[in-house]
Amino acid sequence: MLFGFKKPAIPLAAGRIDSVGIIMDGNGRWAKRRGMPRLAGHAAGAARVEEVLTVLREMGIHHVTLYAFSTENWKRPKEEVDGIMDLVYKYLREVVREKIVSDGHFAVRFAGDTSVLPEKLREECREIEAMGENKEFICYVALNYGGRDEIVRSVKRALESGEEISEAAISRHLYTSPSPDPDLIIRTGGDMRISNFLLWQSAYSEFYFTKTLWPDFDRGEVIRAVESFLGRKRRFGGLNKEDK
């Protein structure tokens, strides 16, 4: 490069990682540590999304699923749930619509039962989905998403369309179809559990857990997660050449 400053080198994931899932956890603790209300943590968390998506795209990754709100998160106090819904709406309108989808590289889809979300949020989801067709990068936002709920829904849909139940039929009706299963699932916030995320799709995913809280998860953290993945050997139940 002749002009300007070089950004830190990013590993090229193309060919090794096509799909990533992220459990964006730790917003509440981030806020608590600063003596701020939990919602301030969710706002700081939303502000990380654009940078993370951009780095993943620069690496040559084409499919990302972001866990934004689970089917179990309704158990939280109404004030927090309402605040999260408002934040999601605002972020979709001001950043996803105006910057992320408008830049022409990204398509955004929603994974989860959006039918029970506030009407203006549902409308925004519909409009954003309609803005991005056939793009090189698909971002699924998992909103009122549960992995068990998704599997039940897929089986029902397969039966309704008269298909015989098979792994292929269930896969075909998942929210994330036809995107490939995640190669890598990242969870921030220090807990080592799946919390009902992509249960079907994660059968052979590699997991990366970090104590870093989601609002602190930046470009360098994405690079660390991908480098960890690139150093691993996957076998899918078989053997690699060097194992024989």
Name which position in 65, 71, 73, 205 contacts ligand IPE (CB under 6 A): 73
15 CB contacts (<8 Å, ≥6 apart)? 60
Residues 12-51 that bind Mg ion (CB under 5 A): 25
Q: How far is the CB of 90 from ligand IPE (least distance, A)?
A: 15
Site track for ligand IPE across 16-35, x = CB under 6 A: -------xxxxxxx------
Q: How far is the CB of 174 from ligand IPE (least distance, A)?
A: 18
Active site residue 149: no
Is residue 137 a contact partner of residue 107, using CB atoms and an 8 Å limit? Answer: yes
Nearer CB in complex with ligand IPE: 52/158 = 52
Binding mask 113-132 for ligand IPE (x = CB under 6 A): --------------------
For this structure, is 73 an active site residue?
A: yes
Bridge partners of 45?
Answer: none
The three-state secondary structure class of 145 is strand
Pick the stretch among 7-15, 55-63, 66-74, 175-183 that binds ligand IPE (CB under 6 A): 66-74
Q: Closer to ligand IPE at the Cβ: 95 or 131?
A: 95
Smallest gap from Cβ 51 to ligand IPE, in A, equals 17
Backbone angles phi, psi at 64, to 5 degrees: -135, 140
**Which is it for strands 106-111 and 137-145: parallel, antiparallel or unpaired?**
parallel
**CB atoms < 10 A from the CB of 194, how many?**
17
Neighbours of 222 (CB within 10 A): 25
In angstroms, the CA 157 to CA 78 distance is: 32
Using CA atoms, how far apart are residues 68 and 87, in angstroms rounded to an integer?
11
- From the list 27, 73, 144, 196, the catalytic residue is 73
CA–CA separation, 126 and 123 (whole Å) = 5
Site residues, ligand IPE (CB under 6 A) = 23-29, 67-70, 73, 84, 189, 191, 193, 195
For Mg ion, the binding residues (CB under 5 A) are: 25
Q: Which residues are catalytic?
A: 25, 73
